[in-house]
Amino acid sequence: MDVEILDSNPYGTLSREDLNEFMAKSHIQLPLDYQEFLLLYNGGRPEPSFFWIEPRTDGSSVQQFYGVHKGPKHLCIETYTGEERYGIPRSMLPVGDDGIGNFVCMGIGKENSGEIFFLDHDVHPYDSPDSMEGITKLAGSMEEFLRGLTASPDS
């Protein structure tokens, strides 16, 4: 099933120059597939949006993807790159959420670069941000994650 990104570029398009500036300023080298995603969509909502956290047992849906922009702070990935990490592990960058407080994160460390994870806010100990408790690997890349999105089994 092909994924469509609705409401893309909600706070403006992203130029290659601005993306390179963001990566240099944040000291993060984003994977090429995610760079292309940001350049095309810079935020938005996927359709379909459902993903399995635990196969056939527990799932969620992407409410929105974040971008690099001057829009609302909580929807900008730059918010999560500074000293204030909001309890997110340093090896991860939130790239979206499910609308109920959980993050979809991308690995930005040497060990997990480009991998996609689900951070469960009810389980992850935000006072111990580098803990992997409450974090589940979903996919090896943004491209793989998007290919795996499906309609909710409840629909």
Contact 113, 31 (CB under 8 A): yes
Total domains, the chain: 1
Q: Is the pLDDT of residue 92 over 90?
A: yes
Residue 57 lies in a domain: yes
Residue 31 lies in a domain: yes
Residue 153 lies in a domain: no
pLDDT at 115 (0 to 100) = 98
Give ∠ CA 82-43-141 in degrees, rounded to 5: 80
Contact 105, 53 (CB under 8 A): no
Residue 104 lies in a domain: yes
Token pair belonging to 99: 């609308």
pLDDT at 1 (0 to 100) = 53
Per-residue pLDDT reduced to its tens digit, 81-91: 877 777 889 99
Q: How many CB atoms lie within 10 A of CB 141?
A: 18
Residue 68 lies in a domain: yes
> Residue 129 is part of a domain; what is its CATH number?
3.40.1580.10
What is the average pLDDT value for the chain, to the nearest integer? 93
* Structural domain boundaries, residue 31: 4-148
Confidence at 139, pLDDT banded by 50, 70, 90: very high
Residue 155 lies in a domain: no
Residue 81 lies in a domain: yes
Confidence at 155, pLDDT banded by 50, 70, 90: low
Residue 90 lies in a domain: yes
**CA atoms in the 13 A half-sphere facing the CB of 136:** 16
